[in-house]
Amino acid sequence: MQPAHFNIQKLRWLIAFSLYLFFNPQISTAQQTHRIWLSGQDEATAVNWNFMISGGRNSGYWTQIPVPANWEFHGFGNYTYGYGGDFDKMNKNPEIGFYKQKFNIEDSDRVNTHIRLVFEGAMTDTQVKLNGKIVGKIHQGGYTKFSYDVTEFLQTGINVIEVTVHKNSNNASIQNSERIGDFWMFGGIYRPVYLEILPQKHVKRVAIDADMNGDLKMDVYTSPLSNGDQIVITVLNDEKQIIGKPVYTKVKTSKDQFLVRAKFNAPKQWSHEFPNLYSAKIQLQKGTKILHEYYQKFGFRTFEIRDHDGFYLNGKKLLLKGASIHSFRPDSGRALSKDDILQNVLLMKEMNFNTARPCHYPPDDYFFDVCDSLGLLAFDELPGWKIPLNNKEGTRLVKELVVRDVNHPSIVLWSNGNHMSHNPELDSVFFTWDIQKRRPLKNAAKNEDIFANYSPNFDIVDTRYYPSYDSLKRRLKGKHIVLPNEALHALYDGGGAAGLKEYYDALEASKVGGGLMIWALFDEGIVNTDKGGAIDLNGNSAADGIVGPYGEKEGSFYAIREIWSPIRLLELNESINFNGTVQLQNKFIFTNLNQCKFKWKLQNFTGPNEASAGHRTIVSNKVNVPDTPPGKTTSLKLELPKNWKGYEALEIEAVSPKGDVVLSWRFPLKKKSHFAKKLSPPIKLQLSRDKNNPYTFIAGRIKYKFNENTGSLKEVSVDNKTLPISDLPSIFASNTKDSLSLFSLGKVSVQKHENFYTIKSIGANGFDSFTWIIDQNGTLRLDYSYTLPTGNYHYAGIGMKTNAKAIISKKWLGEGPFRIYNNRTNGGLLDVWDIKNTVNTPGKIWDGPEFEGFFAPWYWAVFRTTNGQKFSVASISQQLVLGVLNPKNGNDPKNAVWQYPKDEGIFFFNRISSVGEKWKPAKELGSSGQPHYISSTLTGSLLFNFNNDSSQSSNFKLEIE
């Protein structure tokens, strides 16, 4: 009887399950798109294909090459920059790559299926054969996705794909638009290749417009459907939960495009701060059978350009801030791994960008996936640099670009070409294919009239490149939204941050400020095996980056991060007036500060004579932040312990709701005199005056020799070893008009006191006066004043000459570790830094931080020398800038230059130089870039210690702890 009982139970279960399927047809087994990879899924997973190239390196024979890849990085063809001699060679001897690969197709993949062959990107003209037959027209255009219907070309079992790729294009419009540019040109199949296996009736693609209020509009493109078919759309949140109700569309007449509308109540909005994503599940059904199931991610968000006003995201005005970026790596070109792309976006997020501008061509589709998921607004640009695409080719490529990228919520603006490659006839094509009707920008070169011969039915966004600060201010008084899409050029050490704060503040203060993009993110130097594997920047052409070729962080990285921080800690200096409360300004667009996490830390620094650098956190705690909406300022009570004044520094760390560290601020809790005392050895020495030379003094092991005519320190020796310094103090100043002659004798006097000596000089070498105090512990204090002829100066300060090769390292307490300029002072973090002497030539060396140049604020510095000696100096009270040796500039820096003493030395500046950018000298980048008008006396006080007895180390360490 048991078997009969079992059958009844089984029958009951089957009936119940059938009823459930009838009322819930979506749970029936669905046919989803099946992908067969013919190449690797990215550069990191590339697979070898058979390959031969027509010319250049390793040409004329069959071998293998990874796909995807640019062939130049695997020993084939020639390296080509977008203009110049290599470019001419490319045109005279065009390179052609021949690819061949076998792959297997199961019979199940061919039965009742539709098969597409998809190329994500191949440079530049591409012809495809399957099993000896040409499958379609040659695709021309190296940066857009294309595909072929290959259903009839495939066979069960082994198939052969043959691909011919021309590095140049035979189409004059494509060649002039894509193959001429101020960047490297590559060849080959550099993005993935795969087959898509779909059922006969299938969803080809969808285009989604989902606004901030929950209104959803979707174009569904399918294979031809017939009466009785049905489209069911379900929306899922990030936890795969269904929101709202499914939307049903019944097919009554044969068609292949359907418009679907729906309304969802109070969805989570997508923004760069809260990148909330949803998935649309689109099912084709025939009765209870699901024919095809297709998924598309999207976000509910509304981006608006309000003419004569600005950009709005979800009803909130915002400035777009970011940089231009290429798909690039030094050893793989435009072929990137998924991790490369992720790291690029994380790098920009770390700099507090809210926008990325992929330029000259669309990036990998995965780039926008990452922007969608991590929260970064983005542009998407039609290929072009100088010459516009014609209407025919441009219309095709705009369609390929928009169709691929239409659903990314991160994309807020299209770019209709770059520089002078705008074709106004193509604007309408963007609107044709974009269901969201996002506006295409016209990008205008620095000397181009953006309004000439261009009158669209919307107001023009003023994107003109590289404005001076004055011209930017004039534009901001006009009626057009101002968005310089290449605002500041990051050639060499200016790094794109020089003048940035003034530019951004001006945009923020204007009604029509739209934002700015820096040129560019990376120094785009390739690993050139023809040059021994050196990084090749084509001279200075590709040294454009805020960061180095591999993302090496430079001074401007940190300056930009601070300037664009969405949390602003209002001015907090030394602890004279600090009472445990700080002022925070919320610069977020959607985030309340009480959604962030804050922590304070009380810290002490390591000392000048300790072996280690850095600091020690002694105590820390979280901070409760009051309700502080965007745009508001709040007072933050830190609830510090009662003994907080006994510590040397306070650090405040801010973490966003997504867990990103927005910024850390560290401030001294002690006056400069506290840190200067650390240079004074806690011992007393036998202090005496040389009987044979009244201007020579002996303090224990130290001997000081002063110039009897000027009072300057000529020589210092310890244990009869002479230190590599002389002529302290000397004035170093650069007048913008006249040369300065500062040599003169002075009146020098020596006076003995109970425990110290003073040497006073009046009128020597341009000084009003200076006074040396030799203390019983062997330290030297220098107080000085000098009055320069009234006028404009690049820099002004004092210093001492030194042998650069004799200085092997510096350890210092100050904001660092990178150098500053007068118009790029942001980004430093107060700490004890220890750096070896390295000549960091911009565009050549990326192993920063820099050893040479301007550094401030600073408190003390220790310099080690080649003979095992060291000397220390501290700034006692004045806001002096430390200058170290003579910083070197890169090859042909154009206007990206600074002013600095020609002599090698250690300097203490009252005023420092600004730095320019490639297209503009410093004086055109705002008030901080101007020369200093000096009409008053300059002063300073310094403390020097030449007693480097290592036995003092323990005393210093105990004092700090």
**Which of 312-326, 656-670, 727-741, 743-757 has the weakest average pLDDT?**
727-741
Tokens 């023809």 correspond to: 530
Residue 185, helix vs strand vs coil: strand
Cα distance between residue 233 and residue 247, in whole Å = 5
Q: 153 near 103, Cβ under 8 Å?
A: no
Interval 673-692 mean pLDDT? 88
As given in the structure block, the two tokens for residue 923 are 């004086």
pLDDT at 617 over 60: yes
CB atoms within 10 A of CB 350: 16
User: Could you tell me if 163 and 135 are in contact, meaning their C-beta atoms sit under 8 angstroms apart?
Assistant: no
**Is residue 297 within 8 Å of 449, Cβ to Cβ?**
no
| CA distances to 270, 661, 726, 772 from 694, in Å | 78, 59, 19, 14
Contact status, residue 232 vs residue 285, Cβ threshold 8 Å: yes
Q: Residue 866's pLDDT is what?
A: 94
Mean pLDDT of 275-285: 98
pLDDT for 433 beyond 60 = yes
Q: Is the pLDDT of residue 434 over 60?
A: yes
Give the pLDDT confidence of 836-860 residue by residue, as tens digits: 999 999 999 898 899 999 999 999 9
pLDDT at residue 17 above 70? no
What confidence score (pLDDT) does residue 739 get?
A: 59
Q: What is the pLDDT of residues 909-938, one digit of tens each?
A: 999 999 999 999 999 999 999 999 999 999
Q: Which residue has the tokens 């297209």?
A: 919
| Residue among 55, 61, 78, 96 nearest 529 (CA) | 78
Question: How does residue 419 score in pLDDT terms, banded at 50, 70 and 90?
Answer: confident
Instruction: Return the exposure string of 390-399: e unless at least 16 CB atoms fall within 10 Å of the residue's CB, then b.
Output: beebbbbbbe
Task: Look up the pTM and report it.
Answer: 0.94
Return the closest-CA partner of residue 231 out of 293, 182, 187.
Answer: 293
Please tell me the predicted confidence (pLDDT) of residue 327: 97
Number of H helices, E strands in the chain: 12, 60
The pLDDT tens digits for 634-665 are 998 899 999 999 999 999 999 999 998 999 99
Look at 25 and 75; give whichever has higher pLDDT: 75
Q: Tell which phi-psi region holds residue 224, choosing left (phi > 0), alpha (psi between -120 and 50) or beta.
A: beta
Whether the per-residue pLDDT at 14 is higher than 60: the answer is no
Q: For residues 385 and 360, is the Cβ–Cβ distance under 8 A?
A: yes
Report the pLDDT value the prediction gives residue 2, as an integer from 0 to 100. Answer: 36
Say which amino acid occupies 285: Q
Whether the per-residue pLDDT at 682 is higher than 60: the answer is yes
Quick count: other Cβ atoms within 10 Å of Cβ 24?
10
- Tens digit of pLDDT for each residue in 137-180? 999 999 999 999 999 999 999 999 999 999 999 999 999 999 99
Locate tokens 């495009």: which residue?
Answer: 257
| Sequence-distant (≥ 6) Cβ neighbours of residue 444 within 8 angstroms | 419, 420, 422, 450, 462, 463, 464, 465
Token pair belonging to 356: 């990325």
Residues 6+ apart with CB under 8 A from 229: 201, 250, 251, 284, 285, 286, 291
What percentage of residues in the chain have a pLDDT greater than 90?
87
CA 917 to chain centre: 17
Average pLDDT of the chain to the nearest whole number: 93
Q: Are 74 and 51 contacting, i.e. CB atoms less than 8 angstroms apart?
A: no
d(CA 80, CA 89): 8
Whether the Cβ atoms of residue 880 and residue 797 lie closer than 8 Å to each other: yes
Q: Which of 779, 818, 828, 830 is nearest to 648 (CA)?
A: 830
